[in-house]
Amino acid sequence: MSAPVPVVVIGAGRDGLRQARLVADCAGLELAAVIDPADSARERASDAGFPTAADLDEAPPGVAGAIIALPVTTRAAAAEAVAARGLAALTDRSLAASLRDARRIRDAFARSGAPLLVGHHRRHHPAVAAAREAAQGGLLGRLVAADAAWILRQPEDQGGFAWRVRSGAGAAMTQLANDVDLLRWLMGDIASVCALTSRATPQSPETDSAGAVLRFRSGALATALMSSVGLSPWGWEAATGDGDEVARTGEDCLRLVGSEGAMSLPSLTYWRHNGAGRGDWSRPLSRLPLPSPALDARAAQLDHFARVARGEIAPLVTGEDALLSLAAALAVEESARTGKVLTPDPDRADAWEPTAAAIFRGLSAPALPGPAPAPEADPDADADAETDPKKD
């Protein structure tokens, strides 16, 4: 058996401490330190029984990997520092909050040659692997449609972990990137999106509900409905028990529909026509539950990361792949804002960048006082001077 890979967890917030606990239980990894520059954060990690450090330079020698558990809005610089040291990296959740930061992170690891695994952990769930195999293997026929739901009412009291940076996107939009990535993984690349969003009240600081229609390059369609103010049993964490803070319901939250059958996740319930000839709405369907082993997808992701850090396998979710999912999620957000049908483009500027550029141009320093500029020369006079034979 290979020796555990020593890793650090960067960030001692809620996500960072959860990752540290998972690392402590992972046979393939060894926790070297939880890194956070804030004294209070390091104290919290120390109280939980974890070794701590203020920055990467204070980490114990021999560290081979880093789990970046900082907020998605503030992690780009830390990711670049990890890449510069040649460490294998796992980002908690998605790659970044903006296309610009996502490209920075992707490019930093491409330059260094260090492996990057992006934390879309749902791909590591065995039900997702089985559904992808069924979809690609023709069990469902030609994929026609899908729908994903994440409708879980967020607690009003978030406990002792206040968000350090609030993006204004809200829980619904934060979850959207995960569901969009899962739909991409199962159905292929997205050709266009259109969406609407809403807030519980006009005064709400965040978008709390979003609905999107996605059109895939194959021609299949999917809907994704997200809300952090609706009380329901439907959402990935509720379905799988993938989050300690969400009570498990076991109710499916994603459905795939093909020309020859349908499947719901994560239960892997499979619907098909058993009789002779092709099925249609006049013929009965059979319901067949397929085996779906229970597994903690986050723990499976860490096992995968250990193998990535040892150079045994390639990352399941690369930076380039995650950038495509982020581009699709941000296109959904921009479509809701503009009312346009958009094509996801990972190379485009973020929606706020042109506005920011205009603001900074307006704030540019005025010219310093100096001598008056010389009067402009008369171009005709210059021409005469060049052709006058009396002048040297």
pLDDT tens column, 354-375: 766 666 666 655 555 555 555 5
For the cut 90, the answer to whether the pLDDT of residue 38 exceeds it is: yes
Q: Is the pLDDT of residue 158 over 60?
A: no
Residue-level pLDDT at 390: 42
d(CA 276, CA 156): 54
Q: If we measure between CA atoms, which residue out of 283, 286, 257 comes closest to residue 271?
A: 286
Q: How sure is the predictor about 293, in pLDDT bands with cuts at 50, 70 and 90?
A: confident
The residue with greater pLDDT, 122 or 350, is 122
Q: pTM, whole model, 2 decimals?
A: 0.86
- Residue 244 — very low, low, confident or very high, per pLDDT cuts 50/70/90? confident
Strand partners, 271: 262, 287
Instruction: Check pLDDT > 80 for residue 346.
Output: yes
pLDDT for 353: 77
Sign of the CA dihedral running 276, 277, 282, 283: positive
Residue from 270, 293, 234 nearest 135 by CA? 270
The Cα 168–Cα 374 span in angstroms is 52
Mean pLDDT throughout 113-126? 96
pLDDT at 308 (0 to 100): 98
Model confidence at 37: pLDDT above 50: yes
The rounded mean pLDDT for the chain is 87
pLDDT at 12: 96
Distances (CA, A) of 338 to 218, 221, 246, 304, 333: 26, 21, 33, 40, 9
The number of residues in the chain equals 392
Instruction: Give phi and psi for 76, each to the nearest 5.
Output: -60, -45
| Residues 238 and 249: beta-carbon distance below 8 Å | yes
pLDDT at 243: 76
Distance of CA 78 to the CA centre of its chain: 17
Closest CA to 328 of 138, 115, 185, 153: 185
Token pair recorded at residue 288? 């067949």
How many CB atoms within 10 Å of residue 307? 16
Does residue 166 register a pLDDT over 50? no
Closest CA to 184 of 327, 313, 71: 327
pLDDT of amino acid 384: 43
Condensed to tens digits (0 to 9), the pLDDT of residues 186-236 reads: 999 999 999 998 887 666 667 788 999 999 999 999 999 999 999 999 999
Residue among 296, 305, 301, 260 at smallest CA distance from 278: 260
Report the C-alpha gap between 157 and 153 in whole angstroms. Answer: 12
**Residue 1 pLDDT greater than 70, yes or no:** no
Q: Are strands 269-272 and 286-289 parallel, antiparallel or unpaired?
A: antiparallel
Q: Tell me the pLDDT band of 298, cut-offs 50, 70 and 90.
A: very high
108 pLDDT more than 50? yes
Among 148-162, 207-221, 344-358, the range scoring the smallest mean pLDDT is 148-162
3-state secondary structure (DSSP) of residue 293: coil
133 or 361, which is more confident:
133
